[in-house]
Amino acid sequence: MSETPEGMDPEVVALASKLFDLARQGDAGTLAAYVDAGAPVDLANEQGHTLVMLAAYHGHTDAVTALLARGADADRPNDRGQTPLAGAVFKGEEAVIRALLAGGADPEAGAPSAVDTARMFGKTDLLELFQNR
């Protein structure tokens, strides 16, 4: 048996790794199928990045929407206090930003928050969007 994080079952670690890759790749259908079959929708990796965080950061609106529809926490921060919305603002992913807001994301959540990130990068259009929601 190979060494795995915290003595976890290697098959569980492999499945989790596959789910994180699916989120990064934006495979909404396969992610949804795994969650529907019982995979934790808020599964997080060793940095605290959830599936929705990874999908958001990589610009995959359909995957973000599918995960949020299945109960993913739109505001769950990673280990550095960053939320999926702040990550999407940082990456300039407008469609993802809108999907997260529609899914209940709070622009003031996290540190730095999405509002802080928009201010930092001079994204006045996003600041207006956050104020008008």
Where are the chain's structural domains?
Answer: 5-131
Q: Mention the CATH class of domain 5-131.
A: mainly alpha
pLDDT at 133 over 90: no
- Alpha helix ranges (H) inside 26-113: 28-36, 51-57, 61-69, 84-91, 94-102
**Dmax (CA) of the chain:** 54
Residue 20 CB partners (closer than 8 Å, separation 6+):
43, 45, 49, 51, 54
* Tokens 């949020």, residue located: 68
| 100 three-state secondary structure | helix
Cα–Cα distance measured from residue 94 to residue 11, given in angstroms and rounded to the nearest whole number: 36
Please tell me the pTM assigned to this model: 0.91
In the DSSP assignment, the letter for residue 113 is B
pLDDT at 132 over 90: no
pLDDT in tens, 2-54: 444 567 778 888 989 999 999 999 999 999 999 999 999 999 999 999 999 99
